[in-house]
Chain A
Amino acid sequence: MNVCRHLLWIQCPECVSRFLTPVKRVILPGGPYLHQQTVALQQSQVLRSFHCSAVCSTSQQDQKEPKEASERETQSKDRTLVTHEDIFEKAAKNSKTKGNFNRVVDVFTKNDIRRRGHVEFIYAALKQMPEFGVEQDITVYNKLLDVFPKEVFVPRNFIQRMFNHYPRQQECGVQLLEQMENYGIMPNVETKVLLAQVFGKKSHPMRKYQRIMYWFPKFKHTNPYPIPQVLPSDPIDLARFSLARIASDPDAKITVFQYQTTDITETGEEVLRPYIVGIQSPEQRSLLAKHNHCRPVFVEGPFPLWLRKTCVHYYLLRADPIPPEEKVKKEFDPEWIGPEQSLFYPQRVELDLERDIGDDDSFDVDDVEEGPVYAMCMAGQGDETTLAQWISDLQETCPTLGQIPTVFRLESGPGELLTSSDVQQSPELEFETDHIIEDEPLYSKRVKQ
């Protein structure tokens, strides 16, 4: 700090003469706005010219409130040890908003030109940010960076550069950037300018900023199935989005079978009818039409699907894999010419060519036998009545579903796709089958139409 004072003496000799007289007009690098501010400042705050940042707040009203608050605080000082967290908690009692958070930071900033205890304050502020709901806000991080006094921690000679100048403050800056990195927030040019002013161009926080700015853009768009930052709040829109995501077929059609309504029955009770959103593609529909009526179809669920931090659940309508002896091999008629067939290029070529090892791209793996999935749905409640409603609604498009026995396999916890053979074989799963609700084969009521 001696260095700063020494520099001040060199840089503003004319201020020395004015040190004892009230300051009326001081030319500051911050711009004409600060001129109004300095009129009210005390004499020691002539030094402000050295420490102020290029970032100025534009509203005058904000200036008055923290000044009053700081005056109130100095008046009510009863000389007890007050930690920085307590200041935030006091502000939190009103309401945990960004405005309150900014106000607390402003109180601290205006309190002392030398920003005594700013490191602890910034650590406390970083810890309190999630509670105030501002952890995703880059402007708040920049405001916190603004708390650091400028140009004080920039090394001036080679010895300071060698010996990790102001290590605690540099570590604090790094932790601030680390919290930004944890929440995945991209810093902006204001952050860079502030870091350069506070710590200098070759400091640890600046290096960390450079690393963030190198890697974040590279990894931002690596997700082949991107999820938007803000998910739709309406559960039906969320269901639409997630069903379209997992369907993997662009032809699949989403139908909303039932909207969420609250019905009032005759006795006056409120009955909540949950929403049912289903998805089925034309290929699944044709497969379901060809399904053997002797074999049951299973309604399985709920399966978890995570979208960022929210977990939604979906239900499946699927059948067991057909055993190999019952598989009907599709007979190929070589003379049949389909709608998009060219006369010059046959559909199948009977050649005895085999691929050499050097050209074989297939994997030497046995395929996992799995039954076909006929439809998927998401519902507000996962109970049998809702899913039975879904099945009966599905019959509008697939009338054969009425004759196929439907078995419900609903589990309370996150489950995997079970098969009946799996349930019979492993004795460990017998405990789980106790709470698997297995219904009798449900013949739907609409068959009688």
Chain B
Amino acid sequence: MALSRTTFKTLFGIPRVIYRQPLSFPSTSPSSCILSTRGAYERDYRRPGQAPDTRWPWQKIRFDFSKGVEGIRKHFGLLKDEFVNRWTGPEGKPLINHMLEQTQVQWEFRGPESLNQWIVSSDQEIGGHSAAYIKTGRNNTTCFLYGMLCSTPPRDGETRYSGYCTMRSKQPLGSFDRKKHYDWSNFNTLHMRIRGDGRPWMVNISAETYFSHQRDDIYSYFLYTRGGPYWQDVKIPFSKFFLSSRGRIQDDQHALWLDKVNSIGFTLGDKADGPFQLEIDFIALCNDHAHTEEFAYELYKRNPEV
């Protein structure tokens, strides 16, 4: 059997050269060789009790031909649009609009196809008992997020807290599923028209990052709903968003960079068991000229070495 030679990073990040036998296809136990794929840093959450993902990297690539001709047509159409739209202006808008506009409606919920851009999840992924659903509101004009929160933690021995649900927008994709980003650098305030039931929500914005340690970086702020039958206009300046990672607020804070924003999300985790509902009319961006604050929290090194 010919031996293949590959470089492989171990847990401690020291590159090593390992001789190992090539695996027979399909492989069932890569752990039979000297070092397995479990040496890699586990990126995504692994539910306790679930076996870790021990596939080799090339086994994780999926070639999907189910979409067929329509998929090809769609992607090439998007590619053509990307080339042609540049003649009208950046992102397909005339340059004068892009430069001067003071408001931009990013998500407007009119019709059921507007819900396709959003992913709803709850703590059922970690084994909890909350439920969250999304539907259009009255006359197909608003987005209605509702469900039931339950904060009993799943009995897997590891998880201690539970009871959350989120609604997150999908990352905008260009042609051939390439990631695109929102450019909100012209604006400084997030404007939402919502109707809640008095519960405190949290708005999370995730921006494009460079290092893998910043994978779970989320900029969040609170969204307090008043409750009642009237719509509530919420304006949150982007300078108020604080940096958190995996639910823990970080020591080194910096302002949210608006030029490459990936997604926005709403999450509820207020430890009050029971039904909840949130109705969103639109989410827009605006420019508040009276707001000159760059960042609301201190930028110097807190917790310094004494």
Q: Does A373 lie within 8 Å of B97, measured CB to CB?
A: no
Chain B binder among A47-55, A228-236, A409-417: A409-417
Counting CB contacts under 8 A, is B275 at the interface? yes
Counting CB contacts under 8 A, is B284 at the interface? yes
Contacts of B102 in A (CB 8 A): 357-361
Complex: A141 Cα to B252 Cα, angstroms: 29
Counting CB contacts under 8 A, is B19 at the interface? no
Complex: A316 Cα to B229 Cα, angstroms: 8
Q: With A365-B105, A414-B146, A417-B138 in contact, do A358 and B226 touch (Cβ < 8 Å)?
A: no
Q: Does A373 lie within 8 Å of B137, measured CB to CB?
A: no
Q: Does A248 lie within 8 Å of B226, measured CB to CB?
A: yes
Q: How far is the CB of B142 from chain A (nearest CB, A)?
A: 6
Counting CB contacts under 8 A, is A332 at the interface? no
Complex: A225 Cα to B228 Cα, angstroms: 12
Complex: A311 Cα to B277 Cα, angstroms: 12
What is the count of residue pairs linking A and B with beta-carbon distances less than 8 angstroms?
126
Counting CB contacts under 8 A, is A211 at the interface? yes
Counting CB contacts under 8 A, is A419 at the interface? yes
Q: Does A416 lie within 8 Å of B277, measured CB to CB?
A: yes
Q: Does B302 lie within 8 Å of A214, measured CB to CB?
A: yes
Q: With A222-B224, A245-B227 in contact, do A307 and B191 touch (Cβ < 8 Å)?
A: no
Complex: A357 Cα to B103 Cα, angstroms: 9
Chain A binder among B28-36, B68-76, B164-172, B197-205: B197-205
Contacts of A225 in B (CB 8 A): 224, 226
Complex: A141 Cα to B302 Cα, angstroms: 26
Q: How far is the CB of B306 from chain A (nearest CB, A)?
A: 6
Q: Does B100 lie within 8 Å of A422, measured CB to CB?
A: no
Counting CB contacts under 8 A, is A103 at the interface? no
Q: Does B198 lie within 8 Å of A224, measured CB to CB?
A: no
**Which of these, A211, A361, A417, contacts B286 with CB under 8 Å?**
A361
User: A364-380 toward B: CB 8 Å interface, digit per residue (1/0)?
Assistant: 11101100010010000
Complex: A182 Cα to B200 Cα, angstroms: 15
Counting CB contacts under 8 A, is B175 at the interface? no
Q: Ordered nearest first, which 3 A-B pairs have the shortest CB separation?
A: A246-B228, A306-B198, A358-B100
27 cross-chain CB contacts under 8 A: A218-B297, A222-B222, A223-B200, A246-B226, A247-B228, A248-B226, A248-B228, A303-B197, A305-B197, A305-B227, A306-B199, A306-B276, A309-B272, A311-B272, A357-B97, A358-B100, A358-B102, A360-B101, A363-B103, A363-B105, A363-B282, A365-B282, A366-B110, A368-B281, A373-B229, A416-B144, A417-B138
The chain B residues found within 8 Å of chain A, CB to CB, are 96-97, 100-103, 105, 108, 110, 137-139, 141-142, 144, 146, 161, 191, 197-200, 222, 224, 226-231, 249, 251, 271-272, 274-277, 279, 281-282, 284, 286, 297, 302-303, 305-306
